[in-house]
Structure formats: C-alpha cells, structure tokens
A = this chain, B = another copy of it.
Amino acid sequence: MSEEISSKLGPGAEFDSIRKVVKRLGQNAQGIGDDAAVISSLGEQKLIVSTDTSVENVHFKREWLTSEEIGYRAAAAALSDVAAMGAKPLGMLVAMAIPETWHAQIDAISDGIGEAARVAGAPVIGGDMSRSSELALTITVLGTARHVLLRTGARPGDHVYVTGRLGGPGAALRYFEENREPPTMLRERFARPIPRIHEAMWLAESGAMSAIDISDGLSSDLGHIAAASGVALNIDLSSIPVIDGVSAIEGARSGEEYEIVVSSPVEIDATVFKRHFNLDLTRIGSVDTGEPGVRFFLDGSQVAVPGGYLHFA
C-alpha cells in the first residue's frame, strides 16, 4: 500500500520527505497522493472535523519528549477534539512544518502519528510538508457521529461528570520545568495522552448532551461549556478525581489531560462505565441557572480556583 503511494508521487526533495512519512506510516496511511483526500460516503452520519496545532516550545520542548512521543501527542490532542464531539474518527491530515534540524526525526515523528492513527482507527489520508524554522504539526481529524455532543448542550439540572483522574500532566510539567525527569506514571500522562474516543461515544449513547475535552484545564474548559450553554456550573472541589500527590485545585488547573467532561440530564452509571473502560467516571457537580460561569465549592463554601492553565512558554 505505502509503496504504491510512494511510487505515485513525483520527484523532488519535498516529495522525498513525504515518501519517508508515507513509507513509515505503512498501513496507517491510505489514499495519499492527490491534491486532496476523498471520502466516499457518510451514510446517515454527520461529519465532524477539527484542526489542532502543536508547536515546539509552546506545546512541548524537544528535550522533554522523544520524537515518536511528539508525533503521537500531536495526533492524540487532535483526535481528542473529535472524541469530545462523541464522534468516531475516520481519518486525519497531517501538515508538518519542519526545520532542517528536525529532518532526521521524520521517521520517528511519523511512527508516533502512525501509532495514534492505529489506536484511533483513523489513518492518515492526506497532508502537507513545508520547511519552517520551528516544528509545527497541524493535524486535522475527520470523524462521524450520529449524536453530536456540543458545548451548547448543558441545561440546568444536568449532572456533570469527568473521566479519569486529573493532575498528571500538570505535575509532569512541574518536573520538566525544574529540569527533573518526572516519575514514569506522570511522564506517561504527559507524553502519551489517550483520546477518550470510545468513552465519549458511550457517554453520548448513555444520555450525555454536552462535552469538552480537557486541554486548557478543567476550570477553563468548563468555562467554555458555561459560556456556550449560558449556564452556571457548580463544581464540588472535593469530588474532583486526582492522582496521588496532587491537590484538587492542581487537578482543576492541569491542562493537556485529554480527559472528557460531560453534562447529562440523566444519571450515568459510573460502575458500568468503569467495567467497560477500566477508567473512573466521577460526578463532580451540576448545572444551575444564574450568571454563566464556573463556581467551585468546598464544604458548601465557594472557593476561588485561579484561572485556566496556559501553555508553559
């Protein structure tokens, strides 16, 4: 498959780089080699499409991650946006803006992207290769959904749930910023986030009506649901699920988690969810009327959670 694609690309240095990527992607690349990718049928489904850029020294530093992890992480972050819509990823387009000093890493970056494509069942169906002075990977993900989870879908009375346990990427970042190697478990949470694709689809089928993935931090991302839905979100700080050694406030501010927050008018059974996905699902609050925004409570008193996570640079 990939050899067939490669032989169909014309000559030139840019295309040699593309050939490298395609060869490396193997079965994780499909139908590349035209000006654009073609998708034949959506059936009854809606098409979901999202684009996400990972920039060196903004989203990661070269010394923190392997090149394979940089590729994987960029793809996982992009896949997470489509997962947050309750959609099944269909394929992705990879635009690499790559400096000369990164050229030797094209294979390893492609391996990482290919790994994310394989795990998500979303082959690379197109892309672009440019020179640049810093590495930037812009990954566009296409997916399909029958029931779309929008940020506008939260209503007063809904329950608010979050998947997984928060705080790992934020804790890893603190180690990195102090030039220390984080413990393996924290490092993995930062370097190899898992887009919650099947989890979000299951939540959509179980009654969830709005969702967002945690990229900027729980407190910031809930703010987007509150703003889009025009509702107040009351969050019980003590119920926020965190990993060992991380406070609830740190968990609420930790970004690039790629866990999913949903609102649902019906109760969702966390035990069934855990049995399916071996992952926690935790009710952390509820949707209320009033001034749109996010309010955190501890023992019944409102507490301030300092604003959203900002990328480190």
Contact = CB atoms under 8 A, between A and B. Distances in A.
A58 B131 contact: yes
Contacts of A152: 8, 33-34
A12 B49 contact: no
Interface stretch (A79-87, A109-117, A269-277, A283-291): A79-87
Interface in A27-42: 33-40, 42
A50 B8 contact: no
**Interface band, chain A:** 35 or more
Interface stretch (A160-168, A212-220, A245-253, A295-303): A212-220
Interface of A: 7-14, 33-40, 42, 46-55, 57-59, 81-82, 84-85, 87, 93-95, 97, 125-128, 130-134, 136, 138, 140-143, 145, 148, 150-152, 211-213, 216, 220-221, 223-224, 226-228, 307-308, 310-311, 313
A52 B36 CA distance: 10
13 contacts: A8-B151, A10-B221, A10-B223, A33-B152, A36-B85, A36-B87, A39-B46, A49-B49, A49-B93, A49-B140, A53-B95, A55-B97, A93-B140
Contacts of A8: 151-152, 227-228
